[in-house]
Amino acid sequence: MLNISPNTINQKVEQGRFNSFSKISLSSANQMFTRWLVGTLLLVIVLLLLPWTQNIQSKGKVTTLQPGQRPQTIQSTIAGRIEKWYVREGQLVQKGDTIVHLSEIKAEYFDPNLVPRTEQQVEAKEGAIVSYDRKVEALEGQVAALRSELDFKQQQLANKIKQMEFKLASSLADMEQAYYQDSVALVQYNRTVQLFDQGIKSRADVEEKRVKMQESRAKYLSSQNKVEESRNELANARLELSTVLYEYNQKIAKAESDKFSTISAKYDAEGSVSKLRIQASNYEQRSRFYFIVAPQDSYITKAIKPGIGETVKEGEGIVTIMPADYELAVELYVKPMDLPLITIGQEVRFIFDGWPAFIFSGWPGQSFGTYSGSVVAIDNMISANGQYRILVGPEKESKPWPEALRVGSGAQGIALLNNVPLWYEVWRKLNGFPPDYYDEDGKEAPKLKAPVKSIK
C-alpha cells in the first residue's frame, strides 16, 4: 500500500467499506494549511520583489540655518552692578533697545569726570612736547654758536702761532748777529791786549775793548734768552690751540648730549600722550558698556541675573535672547559608515515631535505627515559623540514646515537613497552591509576597500 507502482487499485476497491483507508488519507485541514502555506509563500515572494527605497535614519533637533539666528546669551563686557531692567521675559525688542543698565563697581573708574581729566593730562603732555621741541631748537642754536666760536678761536690762535713763528725767526736772526758781534769784540780785545803788551795801545784802549766785548757778550746772551722765550711762546700757542679745540669739543658734546636727552624725553612724552589717549578712549568706550542693548531684533528668553543690585563679572551672561527673524534647519548626526552616502542637496524627510505622522520608511510616497528638506552642510570633523553632523534646510518647492515649530524641538530624519528590491534590502540588513552608493549620474560608484593591513 505504498503507492509505489503507477497502477492504482483505488477505482476497483470500495474504500468506504474499510476503516483503514480513512486512517491513511489526508484530512481537509491539512489541505487548507497547504493552500495557506503556498499562498503565503507566493505573497512573500511578491513582497520581496517590490521596490524598496534605501534610507538612513537619524534623530536630531531643530536649529537655525545661520549661526547668528540661533539662541544666544548676552554677556556683560565689564564688571558692574545691575541698576535697572528695561525689558521683561518674552518681550520683543528691536535692535539697539536698552535691556539693562549697569553701574561701576571698580574704584579706579568711580570718578564721573574721568574722561575729561584724562584729556587734560593729554593736553599737559602735549604742552611738554612743545617745550621739548623749543629746548631742542635752543640746544641746536647753542651747538651752532659753539662751532662758530671754535672756528674763530682756531683762526685767532693760528694767527698767533704765525706771529710767534715770525718772532722766533727774528730772535734767531738777532742772536746770530749778536754772536758775530761777540766774536768780533773778542778778537778785537785779544788784538788790543797784544798791542798793549807791545806798548802800542794804551791801557784805556784795552779797557774800552773789554767793555765792548762784555757788551757784545751780554747782547748775545740776551738774544739767546729771547729765542728761548719765543720758542716757549710758540709752544704755548700751539698747546693753547689744542686746549681750545678740546674745550669746545667738550662743550659741543655736552650740548648735543642735552639735545639728545631732550629728544628722548620728548619721545617719552609722546609715548605717554599716546598711552593717555588710549586710556581716554578706553574710558569713553567703557562708559558705553553701562547700557546693554539688543544686538538684533529678538525676544527676551530668560534673565540670568534678575536681581537689582546684583553684581556681574566681566564676560558673565546676563540675559538670553532668541532672534526674531530666523530660518529653521535640522541638525542630524550620521555614523561614519553612512557619511559617504550623504551629499549636499540630498533629500531628507522629517518627522517633527508634536506633529503626527504615518510613515513607511521604504515607501516614502505612501507616508503622511512628513516634511522634506535638503542637506546644506556636512561637517569635516567628527563630533564628540563619534558621529558626523549634517545640517538640513527646508526645500522651497516642497510643503512648508510648520509655523509653530521652534528651535530645540526633536526631529527624526530619513535620508532617501536609491531604490532596490525588498529582498536585496533584507539580505543587506542581515549581512550588515551599508546601503548602495550612487553618484549624481545614477551610476554606481566603485566601492572602497580597506587596506589588508588595517583588517585585524
Do residues 318 and 408 both lie within one domain? no
Asked, for residue 104, whether it belongs to a domain, the answer is: no
Neighbours of 395 (CB within 10 A): 16
Residue 209 has what pLDDT? 78
Asked, for residue 103, whether it belongs to a domain, the answer is: no
Asked, for residue 38, whether it belongs to a domain, the answer is: no
SS3 379: coil
Do residues 267 and 157 both lie within one domain? yes
Do residues 124 and 262 both lie within one domain? yes
Domain span holding position 399: 54-69+326-454
pLDDT tens-digit map of 325-362: 888 899 999 888 878 878 888 888 888 887 766 555 55
Residue 236 has what pLDDT? 85
Do residues 407 and 444 both lie within one domain? yes
Q: Return the CATH number at 274.
A: 1.10.287.620
Q: Return the CATH number at 426.
A: 2.40.30.170
All three cell numbers of 349 = 524627510
Do residues 258 and 318 both lie within one domain? no
Do residues 149 and 81 both lie within one domain? no
Distances (CA, A) of 242 to 150, 153, 237, 239, 321: 11, 11, 9, 5, 85
pLDDT below 50 — which residues of the chain?
1, 438-456
Do residues 256 and 298 both lie within one domain? no
Do residues 358 and 276 both lie within one domain? no
Asked, for residue 280, whether it belongs to a domain, the answer is: yes
Neighbours of 9 (CB within 10 A): 9
Q: Return the CATH number at 89.
A: 2.40.50.100
Do residues 255 and 136 both lie within one domain? yes
Asked, for residue 36, whether it belongs to a domain, the answer is: no
Q: Name residue 86's amino acid.
A: Y
Residue 357 has what pLDDT? 61
Contact present, 378 and 370 (Cβ < 8 Å)? no
Residue 128 has what pLDDT? 87
Asked, for residue 37, whether it belongs to a domain, the answer is: no
Residue 238 has what pLDDT? 84
Asked, for residue 176, whether it belongs to a domain, the answer is: yes
Do residues 303 and 330 both lie within one domain? no
Do residues 307 and 362 both lie within one domain? no
Find residue 293's DSSP bridge partners: 98
Residue 10 has what pLDDT? 60
Asked, for residue 387, whether it belongs to a domain, the answer is: yes
Contact present, 345 and 88 (Cβ < 8 Å)? no
Do residues 140 and 259 both lie within one domain? yes
Residue 4 has what pLDDT? 58
Residue 365 has what pLDDT? 54
Q: How many domains does one find in the chain?
A: 3
